[in-house]
Homo-oligomer: A and B are copies of this chain.
Amino acid sequence: MRGVIMQGTGDVTVADRDEPTILEPTDAVIRVTAACVCGSDLWRYRGIVETTGAPMGHEYVGVVEDVGADVRTVAPGDFVVGSFIASDNTCEICLAGYQSRCVHAVGMASMGSQAERLRVPLADGTLVATPEHPDASLVPSLLAASDVLGTGWFGAVAAEVMPGKTVAVVGDGAVGLMGVLAAKQLGAERIIAMSRHADRQALARDYGATEIIEARGDEGVEAVKDVTGGLGAHSVIEAVGTHESMLQAVQSTRPGGHVGFLGLGHGVELSGRLLFSSLVHLHGGPAPVRRFLPDLIDRIWRREFDPGRVFDLTLPLSRAAEGYEAMHERRAIKVLLDPAA
């Protein structure tokens, strides 16, 4: 089958890969209906994480083609959405809602979902079937649920967004925009999007942002304080993953407030003094998307919102390299790859 291989920094190809097969009785193999490029894939594309000859992609929706003998909850023919981390969904950590750190977790990045087919380990605990095959217009939103929406949603939950709260979102990439959308859905009273790109500001407003702040760093912190009576936001969603963005997030939060952080920190070092004096709650990490999938699929099915709009470029799988380039150059927010096109 065809699948994306990152040969090295900045070098994306679509090559022949072995057909995935059932290796464990808990596996499923799916035909990928849609996959996409993640901001975290760009760490590799940019050489910040060195990569040689690796299959790429961890987000996916598709149709089950085959299942192992022990799989009970999905069957061939089902349309499924899965988390970017496979989980058994039965261990103590999963049952507490932290499936991304399941004791049997398998990162789907190692499977490479930017391909025609995909092996999904722990299928019962990882995949959720939709009520029926979706209308094509729902596919982008369902794909978003696989990671970027689920991650933004986790950020909002981790930041304890709820009605009456003022929320700030640091980062206007796809995850930040999903954070805005999640904050709106969870009833936030005010949503401050930190963005300096007109197109992303527009989508943020469509998704529920009530205010846009272009300033960054200390100036961004002051700007958030200025519009919150000097106190800072109740909830801040951090969706960048740099030292600066993390500091900005913590410092934009009022004492007793909550920071939900989503960026896999590169070079982030938080001083004990800052954490102590800020008196904020800090929670984040790899989003336990599986916890939210049934609810998110339900909301998408009822067309309560349209997270799929975050995909502003759709390409056939064969043109994946263009997709990486467009995201790297910030010409696209997020790129959908269609293996059937």
Interface residues of A (CB under 8 A from B): 92-93, 96-98, 100-101, 103, 229-231, 241, 243, 246, 254-256, 261, 263-273, 275-286, 288
Contact = CB atoms under 8 A, between A and B. Distances in A.
A275 B282 contact: yes
Q: Copy number in this complex?
A: 2
A282 B285 contact: no
B246 A272 contact: yes
25 contacts: A92-B229, A93-B255, A97-B256, A98-B256, A100-B255, A101-B256, A101-B279, A103-B231, A241-B272, A243-B272, A261-B275, A264-B272, A264-B276, A265-B276, A266-B272, A268-B273, A268-B275, A270-B270, A270-B271, A270-B275, A276-B284, A279-B284, A281-B281, A282-B282, A282-B283
A313 to B, nearest CB: 28
Interface of A, helix, strand, loop or mixed by DSSP: mixed
B267 A269 contact: no
B281 A285 contact: no
Nearest to A258: B283
A268 B269 CA distance: 9
A139 B54 CA distance: 67
Given A96-B256, A268-B272, A275-B285, 19 more contacts: A98-B279, A103-B230, A241-B272, A263-B272, A263-B276, A264-B272, A264-B273, A266-B272, A268-B271, A269-B269, A269-B270, A269-B271, A275-B282, A277-B286, A278-B285, A279-B285, A279-B288, A282-B282, A282-B283
